[in-house]
Amino acid sequence: MGGNAFTQPGPNDQPALVTPRLTPQQYDLLKTYVSDKLAALFECLAVPKEMPGKESFGDLDYLAVAPTVNCPEDWVAEVQSRLSAPQVRGQDPTASFAVPWDIAGIKDVIEQPRATNGEPQATNDVNHEDVSTPTHHAQIDLSLIPPSTYPWQLFLHSHGDLSRILAHLLRPLALHLNHHGLHLRLAEIAASVPDKKKSLLFLSTAPDALFRFLEIDYAAVGGAGSCTEMFDQVVASPFFGAGVVEWAATPREDGTRSDRQRHAKRPMYRQFMEEYIPANLSKFSSKAGYSREEVRERAVRWFGKEAELATMLGEWAVEEAEKAWWADVVGVFPGEMSVEKRRRVVRGLKRWVEVGGGEAVVRREARALEGRWVDGMGVGREGWGGRREGVLEWVKGNWEMVNALEKGRVKGGGKKWVE
């Protein structure tokens, strides 16, 4: 939460609290204090690794998995008690705790935090040299994560803005990295469906697998002593050629709201975009990288997703055939037919008419608006043969009857049986 959870009054007339930024020494002492207090409560408890060279900290973040037998059902209350936190904001699965400086043992550590240029950083308008006040608190954010997503979430929250930078670089390659994992966007599906999520083929939620696939040394990334060293490791990937890097560096009018927020609020992301890439573009001028087609082939093969890809494309082909079929059906209606009547006839065909083996048969009972006519025709127009023309002729000659059936069903309060 960036250390701002307690800067405003809370519920039940809780006062706002002063939460100055922490020096690295204070941060490490606080981490030791909190970890010792909470380790027995959870199966896994970890602090995401910070960006290299960070000089001050607004809060201390923890990710936890599975409360142990030592942890009461109300883990938020137990954590509050163990940390002697006078205030809590939020609730299961994510809560923020205000820990007094004097209790955490960081009250007398007054090293002034400094920015990378050596100048003192802003500290929420609080003088760090005034250590006599008892009102200084440190903000502890703790999120309880499902075991299945813990490694991925820990990666997303580690190394500063690394995951956001990777997500931006991968986008022009049709690879999408988000809280749900790494996905491949299938262009043919994305172009034809309103919900773009339906075009995503899931690849992995394993951080090690992601970095091996991208041919990036994850250990070297984690051990980088500066942001520049980390950036060097990332862009060394053969996936990121000149085209990708130039795309990433170009301000985009179609940028998302998240893109704009990252530029405004994420200093490491902004450093990569506005300083590192422009200063290093010449390094990539002759780097070919991989095309989208090559990335797609590599991703499907590397993650073993051939079967899932075939299933997605098969289901999409059926849906496309169904849409094409109904466009043909509507095409045989009289040109002067009103939009309302056209919709009613289409609903009536779906409810009252069964198509099997290319034959149209009126049902005795109307059905729900589900199922696909194309299932009875064969997938794809080329597979319909003469059946397509025969069914279209039937529709042309019987749409008025279907309209009457559907109109009667609606007037009868939704009755399902033919009188």
DSSP state of 222: H
pLDDT at residue number 12: 85
Q: Which domain holds residue 360?
A: 312-411
Euclidean distance between CA atoms 17 and 41, whole angstroms: 27
Q: Residue 12: inside a domain, yes or no?
A: no
Statement to judge: residues 208 and 124 lie in one domain: no
Low-confidence ranges of the chain (pLDDT < 50): 111-133, 379, 418-419
pLDDT at residue number 255: 54
pLDDT at residue number 368: 80
Statement to judge: residues 297 and 327 lie in one domain: no
Q: Residue 11: inside a domain, yes or no?
A: no
Euclidean distance between CA atoms 14 and 219, whole angstroms: 44
pLDDT at residue number 107: 74
- Integer angstrom CA distances of residue 74 from 32, 58, 80, 92, 95: 23, 26, 10, 9, 12
Statement to judge: residues 111 and 204 lie in one domain: no
pLDDT at residue number 395: 92
pLDDT at residue number 110: 52
Q: Residue 95: inside a domain, yes or no?
A: yes
Q: Structural domain tally of the chain?
A: 3
- Integer angstrom CA distances of residue 156 from 63, 71, 106: 11, 26, 28
pLDDT at residue number 415: 56
Statement to judge: residues 278 and 188 lie in one domain: yes
Q: Residue 270: inside a domain, yes or no?
A: yes
Which two tokens mark 227? 């942001």
User: What stretches of 145-252 show up as alpha helix (H) in DSSP?
Assistant: 150-157, 162-170, 187-190, 207-214, 218-222, 227-235, 242-249
pLDDT at residue number 114: 45
Statement to judge: residues 290 and 390 lie in one domain: no
Statement to judge: residues 172 and 273 lie in one domain: yes
Statement to judge: residues 188 and 273 lie in one domain: yes
pLDDT at residue number 170: 96
Last residue of a domain, one of 112, 146, 180: 146
Is 202 within 8 Å of 211 (Cβ atoms)?
no
Is 139 within 8 Å of 58 (Cβ atoms)?
yes
Task: Give the 3-state secondary structure of residue 296.
Answer: helix
Tell me how crowded residue 59 is: count the other CB atoms within 10 A of its CB: 21
pLDDT at residue number 77: 95
Statement to judge: residues 292 and 235 lie in one domain: yes
Statement to judge: residues 288 and 172 lie in one domain: yes
Last residue of a domain, one of 146, 172, 196: 146
Statement to judge: residues 318 and 297 lie in one domain: no
Q: Residue 264: inside a domain, yes or no?
A: yes
Statement to judge: residues 163 and 288 lie in one domain: yes
pLDDT at residue number 298: 97
Q: Residue 152: inside a domain, yes or no?
A: no
pLDDT at residue number 252: 59
Last residue of a domain, one of 88, 119, 146: 146
pTM reported for the whole predicted model: 0.82
Statement to judge: residues 295 and 329 lie in one domain: no
pLDDT at residue number 263: 59
**Hey, which bits of 72-193 come out as E strands?**
87-91, 94-100, 137-144, 175-178, 181-185
pLDDT at residue number 245: 83
Which two tokens mark 383? 């597979």
Task: Return the exposure string of 89-100: e unless at least 16 CB atoms fall within 10 Å of the residue's CB, then b.
Answer: beeeeebbbbbb
